[in-house]
Amino acid sequence: MKHPFVFTTKKNLSAIDMRTVRPRNEGRNFFHFLMTRLMLIYLFLFFISSSAVSQSYQETETGVVVHCNSMQVEIQFFSNSIVRVIKWPEGTNFKKESLSVVKSPESISLDISSENDLISLQSDDLTVNLNTNNGQVSFYKNNGKALLKEKNDGAVFVEIDDAGVKSYSVSQTFGLETDEPIYGLGFQQQGRMIQRNLEMNMIQNNTESFVPFFQSVKGYGLFWDNYSPTIFSDSTEATSFNSEVGDCIDYYFMYGGNADGVVAEMRELTGQVPMFPLWTYGYWQSKERYKSQEETVGIVRKYRDLGVPLDGIIQDWQYWGSNYLWNAMEFLDVEFPDPQRFVNEVHELNAHMIITIWSSFGPKTKQYRELDAGGMLMNISTWPESGSQLWPPRLDYPSGVRVYDAYHPEARDIYWKYLNEGLFSLGIDGWWMDSTEPDHFNWQPEDFDFNTYLGSFRRVRNAYPLMTVGGVYKNQRAVTSDKRVFILTRSAFAGQQRYGANTWTGDVVASWNALRNQISAGLNFSLSGIPHWNSDIGGFFLWEYPARLDDPDYRELYARWIQFGAFCPMMRSHGAEAPREIFQFGSKGEPVYDAIEKFINLRYLLLPYIYSTSWDVTANQSSFMRALVMDFANDPKVLDIDNQYMFGKSILVCPVTEPMYTTNGREDFSTVKSSEVYLPKGTDWIDFWTGEKHSGGQTIKKQSPIDIMPLYIKAGSILPVGPKVQYATEKKWDNLEIRIYPGANGKFTLYEDEKDNYNYEEGYYSTITFYWDDANSTLTIDDRKGSFPGMLNERHFNVVKVEKGKNTGMVPMVIDRKVFYNGGKIEVKL
């Protein structure tokens, strides 16, 4: 029940009506009339004076601003389910334009009321309460369910000198439920799924990309919008973000109902995911490094000769020559004498090339001279430190390499100008943006005092990858819409999903533990709203394997890592100290070679499924790699599983993350070993390799020879399978196999477009939706929606109902029905 003296913004009425009081009887005692008026005025003034301190607030277009506890607090509703909270010390002013947030506040109906010391703001989805005594903010569902509360007096401002500018270190503490799982925070290498009971120093580095965002199993997410080095701390008592510098506390609360919903809200806030070209989902080969154009082209030619599929080759560093010419964005090394022929030869082999570019420049480059003249180079120690290419580095010959100020719009344009002239004009297909953290060695406090375009480096440190990657994306989009932007980057920040970027997990050291750690790293990164990521298949450094490829344990590890890589958003082999091409692991007929080839081929068979999943990511804010909590939140056993996941919404992937066939330095494949797999409850599961059906909610053992990674298909799934090819676009999808996994009703939408331009943004694409009615064993292929140039107007679908012993694994299926389809709705009875 509300207090009788309550103001609401919708009605804007006082409890006391101050209209003129007119006596009924003209002869009434005037003194009585006067006393009545004075009493009413007294009551009104009493109400105003008593409520001014506890209930006074200023209404804004999006919420309220309140002065309380020596600070200003503003609540802004960006939508019915996204709320921004800003706090700043009284008597200060600031202007902030978010680097991550692109959404503008919507116009929504908001009910604002106050009672005693509490101001309540209610949208269609959320209720936000603000305590005017201490500034505490609490979030609720409109049904009264508590979601998240700040701690009493949880906002802290400590005045600091930030490179000569008065500012604050800022922190905010929240109270989570003791057993409340949370996920996200970017990716790290700790092998953790649930991000509780830890302290994390969030500053971008080679193998860790921090995103100050987490989401809860309760269906909400929280984005801490600060770019300075930040400590995230969590215990059973409190959860906090503490940032080195900020003019204000600034965070966004969002409610999505479940993990997919929270990811959708985060992308609504910070940007949607553009489509990647189809070829980026094929297989990619790389190493540190191919030293001539003949070597690089020769690798592509070797794959073609072997008949092993390949879509991309990556040219790593030093094609520019000496370290003094670092990142010149031109082929200046004598081993690359004809760059145009180099690129053309790769393309003539029906492959694509991406090339490494960095965030820094050597002192003899054109870029360095132009940026330096404009004061757009930073003074931090970075890679390479030596002008000599000898190892270890000769520091008595400093390289003079400097990082550019990516926060400066003119610097980003200069960066692109040289990239466009030197490489894009040759037909290079994409960019491997290395060291986008950027590399920062031998930190000194004064390093962070450097005055970037947006203030001290300290203030904007963690957003560097967002700015440099965004600069390339925006500039390429301005040049052409005929080629989709594709960027492989070593670091990321909130919002980077909007820039056509696939982040890899850095230079990890090869080990079985490292392989397992990539799974939880990628899943938490995906739960942070950024869906495209990958790891160096096989690990970058081989420090634990001095025998390199002669070590049987490493060969087994590589085979298992490539199996995992086949079910990541990008499948890319790369590393130092030993080459990683398939022919380095033997020849056809040998166990490790055959296992590698098998999973590369499987990746290509699944391209129609993968590309349709890519569309689901773009159009419906879905995720490629799905932590089990996303689809089975009601199964408590999946909440902390860190070594299994869903790839798309149909395939349960269970990577093998321990050695089985190597003992005392010897390989032995004679006895088949088994892996333990947990099948989430709530559905049946069909073994991809055997067709055997299992009930969910149990742990089973699956035989896992070196060429088998446990894969299970969710009952009711419809899986489109493509033709056997050597590269992604070799053959048309005019005879797709449509696999039905019975046991539940199902739905799948097949997406198709021109494969590599932005015409889809104008509606040039098609979708065909398949429905499976399990009770009636009927597949309905719906009317095709949409069209695009080059679309297949007529085709066949080879419909297969998967059954144990009949249709299994990768072998050609026994077709149940061959269906002719010309775009009209048809039903297929099986």
Contact 624, 498 (CB under 8 A): no
Residue 764 φ/ψ, nearest 5 degrees: -90, 85
**CA-to-CA distance for 47 and 811, rounded, in angstroms?**
81
385, 405, 437, 635: the active-site residue: 437
434, 551, 616, 635: the active-site residue: 434
**CA-to-CA distance for 525 and 464, rounded, in angstroms?**
18
Is residue 507 annotated as part of the catalytic site, yes or no? yes
Contact 438, 464 (CB under 8 A): yes
In 3D, which of 71, 79, 83, 48 has the Cα closest to residue 136? Answer: 71
Contact 496, 465 (CB under 8 A): yes
115, 260, 507, 581: the active-site residue: 507
In 3D, which of 814, 791, 793, 794 has the Cα closest to residue 802? Answer: 814
Is residue 405 annotated as part of the catalytic site, yes or no? no
State both tokens at 349: 């082999």
Partner residues linked to 826 by β-bridges: 781
The amino acid occupying position 402 is: R
Is residue 434 annotated as part of the catalytic site, yes or no? yes
Residues 6+ apart with CB under 8 A from 132: 53, 54, 55, 56, 57, 66, 68, 117, 118, 119
Instruction: Return the ∠ at Cα 401 (arms to 400 and 405), rounded to 5°.
Output: 125
In 3D, which of 441, 501, 443 has the Cα closest to residue 471? Answer: 501
Question: DSSP strand E in 163-301: where?
Answer: 165-175, 182-184, 198-202, 213-216, 220-224, 230-234, 239-243, 249-255, 283-285
Residues 6+ apart with CB under 8 A from 782: 768, 769, 770, 771, 825
First-last CA distance in the chain: 61
Question: 539 — alpha (psi -120 to 50), left (phi > 0) or beta?
Answer: left
**CA-to-CA distance for 509 and 415, rounded, in angstroms?**
31
In 3D, which of 493, 415, 409 has the Cα closest to residue 454? Answer: 409
Partner residues linked to 139 by β-bridges: 128, 148
The helix/strand/coil state of 223 is strand
Contact 398, 454 (CB under 8 A): no
**CA-to-CA distance for 757 and 347, rounded, in angstroms?**
17
**For the chain, how many helices (H) and strands (E)?**
13, 48
Residue 791 is classified by DSSP as: -
Instruction: Return the ∠ at Cα 264 (arms to 261 and 267), rounded to 5°.
Output: 155
Q: CB 50: neighbour CB atoms within 10 A?
A: 11
Residues 6+ apart with CB under 8 A from 558: 537, 538, 580, 585, 592, 596
Longest dimension (CA), the chain: 117
**CA-to-CA distance for 402 and 416, rounded, in angstroms?**
17
In 3D, which of 188, 200, 149 has the Cα closest to residue 172? Answer: 149
Handedness of CA 92, 93, 98, 103 (dihedral sign): positive
**CA-to-CA distance for 581 and 522, rounded, in angstroms?**
24
Whose tokens are 């080759």? That residue is: 313
Residue 275 is classified by DSSP as: P
**CA-to-CA distance for 762 and 750, rounded, in angstroms?**
19
The residues carrying an active-site annotation are 434, 437, 507
